A and B are shown apart, each in its own frame.
Chain A
Amino acid sequence: MEYAVLAHSGDVGARLVAAKLGERVGTDVVGLVLAEELTLAPCFSHRVGPEGEKTELRLADGRSLHSHELRGVVSRLTDAPAPRFARNPRADRDYAAMEGYALLLSWLASLPCPVVNPASPRGLAGPALGLLEWLALGAAAGLPPRRFRLGHPGAPAPEGSWLGLRAQMASSSSVGLAPLAQARPGEPTLWAEPVEEPLFEALVVGDRVFGAVGHAARGGCVELARRAGCAVLAVHLACGRRGTVLCGADPMPELGPAAATALAQLVLEQVA
C-alpha cells in the first residue's frame, strides 16, 4: 500500500478521500484502513532507536503498511479501539486503549511520508485544542474571537446581553454546546456573546477554503490552520455585532466530495 486513509468505521469523508486518491493513482495502491484493523493487525512491529524509525505493519487481510513503502497518509483517527479487550474490566480496556494510542502516535509521527493531519500527542489527526486555545490562536491569526465569560457555579448572569451555555471547557468549539437550561447542578456557566444563528463553517484544506466566507476571514482561517499545524481544519464562525467572529475549530471535520477531492489533491501535492 502506498497511500493509506486511516479512519473509524462510518467515516464517509474518509471513504471519499480514499476513492478520490484511487481515481488519481490507482485503487491498487490506495487503502482505506479502519482503526480496528490497525489495532488487530497480526503483525505490528515498530522500531525506534539510534538509527531512526521503521515500522512493519501487516493487516489481517494481508495488506501491508510498511513505513518505507508508504507515500502519503490521511489520518482521521481519534483513538485506538481495543476490541480484543471488550469483555475485560474497564481498567484493562483503558490500559489497552492507552497503549494502542501510544503506539499509533509514535508510528504516525515516525512516518517519513506526508501525514495529513500530522499526529501529535494532542491528537492522532491534528491537535484537539480546547475552546480558549482556538480562540487565542485565532486572535493571533487575525480572527476576532467570540466573546465568552466563564462564570463560577451559581453566579448570576453578567450585565449586558449574553447567551447562557453549558460550560464544557474541554470542548473545541461553542458550536454544539448545550443551552444553560441543560446544565447540571454545580456546573459553571459559559456566557457567550450573542451572534446570528446559524453559525457557519469555513473548511480549510491546504490553501483552499470551502464555505461562504468573506475574503478577510478566509486568510485568517488559513493562517489559523497553519498555526495549529493542520492542513485540514473546520473553522467555526458566526456573524456578531462586530462582524465575523471565531467560535472554535475542529481538525477532523466532515468531508464532502469537494473537500475530499481537494484533500486527495493536497496529499498528492505534498508527496510530489
Chain B
Amino acid sequence: MILLCGIPSEEPVALAARAAQAAGVAHVVLNQRAVGDWSIELEVGEEGVSGTLHGPYRSYGLEAFTGAYVRLVEPETLPEVGDPPRAEVLARARAAYDGLLAWLEVAPTRVANRLSASASNLSKPYQAQRIRRCGFEVVPTLVTNEPRAVRDFARSHGRLVYKSVSSVRSMVTELTSARAGNLERVRNLPTQFQPLVPGFDVRVHVVGAQVFATEIRTSAIDYRYAARSAEEIEMRAFELPTLIRERCRALSAALELPVCGIDLRRTPDGRWVCFEVNPSPAYSYYEEIDGQPIARALVAYLSGQPSASEEARASDDGAGDRELDRPVGDAPRCSTP
C-alpha cells in the first residue's frame, strides 16, 4: 500500500492517485485539507518507531506503507485553518503535519521525498556545489552585495541574469543595461548573478531508476514565465544521452531525492549545464504535455521497484557516453507553464 499526502485536487497528487488506481495499487490519499480527520500515533522504543495513521474512515498501521509521496504544504497556509488562524484547528493541522513528517524521516520505507533531503534546495549555490561533485557542469555564479563585482563579472561573462539565492521562487531576469542602473540596490542584500547560458532547456524527472526528459524551446529567459511575456513555448519528450541520463540518476541518488526535477540546458556547442534540482517537482505539468508516464513510474517506485541508487549498484554496466540528442514524438505547443 502506498500513501499519497497532500491536497487531492492538486495535479501531482491527483495524477499519482489516478495512476495508482489504474495500476491497481492499493493507496491511501491523505487529504491535508481535511483538518481534524487525520492524526498519527507513534511509539518509539528500542525496536524502532511504529504507529498508526488514523483517517476519517479507518486506521492504518504505518508498517503497511511501502512508500509515501509527500506534497504537504505548511499548515498555516491551509484555508481551513483560517486567516487569522484558529488556534485549535491550526494545532490539529500542525500535529498531523509534524507527526507525519517526523515519522517519514525515520520510516524504513520509500519516501518521495524526505524533508531533510529536500533541504539541499534551500540554497542554490550550495546545491550547485553538490551538483558539480556529481560531474555536471555548473554555471559560474556570483552572489554579491558589491555593484563593482557585478560589473566585473559582466565584463568577464557577457549578458547576466539574476535570481534568488534561496529556494524562494523568483523569476530569472536579465540584467539589462536599464536594470544595471539599479545595481546599487544589491548593497542591501547579496544577490545571485549568472551568465546567460544560450541553448534550450531540458527538464529531467528522475523517479526511482527511471528518467524522463522534456525538451523546452522558448525565447523567454525563464520558460516557467513564458506565458506572462506572451512568448511561445514548445515542449516535447526528449531522449537524453546515456552519460547525462546516468549523471541525473547519480545526482538524484547523491541528494537522496528519489523523485526530483533537474533543470538542464543544452548549449549550442554541445555542453550540458545543470542549474538546479527541484525536490518537489510539479511533474504533472510536463506529463500532461508530453505524455511521459511519470506518475506511473512514481507509483511503481513507491510500490517497491528499484531506485536509482539500487539500480546503479546492481548494474554497473559502464554506461557509454554516446551522445544521442533525439527528440521523441511531436512537439505540442502550450501557453501556460
A and B physically associate: yes
A118 to chain B, nearest CB (A): 12
Contact B141 A188 (CB under 8 A): no
| CB of B35 to closest CB in A, whole Å | 9
In the assembled complex, which residues on chain A have CB atoms less than 8 Å from the CB atom of B119? 120-122
| Across-interface contacts of A152 in B (CB, < 8 A) | 39-41, 54, 95
Known: A41-B145, A106-B143, A153-B95. 19 other contacts (CB 8 A): A42-B187, A46-B143, A48-B125, A48-B132, A82-B189, A95-B166, A99-B190, A101-B166, A105-B123, A105-B126, A106-B124, A121-B122, A131-B102, A133-B116, A149-B41, A152-B39, A169-B99, A184-B88, A186-B90
> In the bound complex, do residue B92 and residue A132 qualify as a contact, i.e. CB atoms below 8 Å apart?
no
* Residue of chain B at shortest CB distance from A137: B106
CA distance A96 to B145 in the complex (A): 13
Partner of B44, one of A41, A42, A44, A132: A132
Contact, CB under 8 Å: A45 / B144 = yes
Smallest beta-carbon distance B332→chain A, Å: 34
CB–CB B122/A132 < 8 A: no
Tell me which residues from 93 to 133 in chain A have a Cβ below 8 Å from any Cβ of chain B.
95-96, 98-103, 105-106, 109-110, 120-122, 130-133
Q: Does A150 contact B (CB under 8 A)?
A: yes
Q: How far is the CB of A144 from chain B (nearest CB, A)?
A: 5
Q: Mark A31-54, 1 if CB is under 8 A from B, else 0.
A: 000000000011111111111010
Question: Which B residues contact A (CB, under 8 angstroms)?
Answer: 39-46, 48-49, 51, 54, 87-92, 95, 98-99, 101-103, 105-106, 116, 119-126, 128-129, 132, 137-146, 149, 164-168, 187-190
| Interface of A toward B, CB cutoff 8 Å | 41-51, 53, 82, 84-85, 95-96, 98-103, 105-106, 109-110, 120-122, 130-133, 135-136, 139, 144-145, 147-153, 155, 167-170, 184-188
| Contact in complex: A102, B41 (CB < 8 Å) | no
Whether A48 lies near B87 (C-beta < 8 A) is no
Per the bound structure, the CA–CA distance linking A147 and B50 in Å amounts to 12
Q: List 17 A-B contacts (CB under 8 A).
A: A42-B187, A43-B145, A49-B141, A85-B189, A106-B123, A106-B124, A130-B105, A132-B44, A144-B46, A145-B46, A147-B43, A147-B44, A149-B43, A149-B44, A169-B102, A186-B90, A186-B92
Q: Closest CB of chain B to A169's CB: distance in Å? A: 4
Please determine whether B99 and A136 come into contact, CB atoms closer than 8 angstroms: no
Q: How long is the Cα–Cα vector from A103 to B143 in the complex, in angstroms? A: 8
Q: Cβ of B51 and Cβ of A150 under 8 Å apart?
A: yes
**Complex partner residue of A132 from B39, B102, B139, CB under 8 angstroms:** B102
Residue on B nearest A155 in the bound complex, by CB: B41
Shortest 6 CB-CB contacts between residues of A and residues of B: A186-B91, A121-B119, A152-B39, A102-B123, A49-B140, A102-B166
Measured between beta carbons, the chain B residues less than 8 angstroms from A187 are 91, 95
Q: Judging by beta carbons under 8 Å apart, are B137 and A50 in contact?
A: yes
Whether A188 contacts B99 by the Cβ 8 Å rule is yes
Name the contact of B126 in the complex, choosing from A100, A121, A149 (C-beta under 8 A).
A121
Please state if A46 and B95 are interface contacts (CB–CB under 8 Å).
no
Of A45, A50, A136, A149, which is in contact with the most chain B CB atoms at under 10 Å from its CB? A45
| Most interface-central of A41, A51, A100, A152 (chain B CB within 10 A) | A152
- For the complex formed, measure the closest distance between the CB of B51 and the CB atoms of chain A, giving whole angstroms: 7
Contacts of B145 in A (CB 8 A): 41-45
Contact A145 B88 (CB under 8 A): no
Partner of B42, one of A42, A50, A110, A148: A148
Tell whether, in the assembled complex, residue A103 and residue B87 are in contact, meaning their CB atoms are under 8 Å apart. Answer: no
In the complex, which of the residues B92, B98, B132, B143 contacts A45, with contact meaning CB atoms closer than 8 Å? B143
Min CB gap B183→A, angstroms = 14
Asked whether, in the complex, the Cβ of A53 is within 8 Å of the Cβ of B129, the reply is: yes
- Residue of B41, B92, B132, B190 near A150 (CB, 8 A) is B41
Cross-chain contact A145 with B45 (CB below 8 angstroms): yes
Which interface residue of A102, A148, A152 has the most chain B CB atoms within 10 A? A102
Decide: A148 and B44 in contact? CB cutoff 8 A: yes
Q: Which B residues are in CB contact (< 8 Å) with A100?
A: 189-190
Measured between beta carbons, the chain A residues less than 8 angstroms from B122 are 98, 101-102, 105, 121
> Is the Cβ of B149 less than 8 Å from the Cβ of A186?
no
A24–B88 alpha-carbon span in the complex (Å) = 55
Does the CB pair A132–B91 fall under 8 Å? no
How far does the alpha carbon of A266 sit from the alpha carbon of B210 in the complex, in Å? 44
A167 to B119, CA, bound (A): 24
Say yes or no: A96 contacts B126, CB within 8 Å. no
Closest Cβ of chain B to A181, distance in Å, is 16
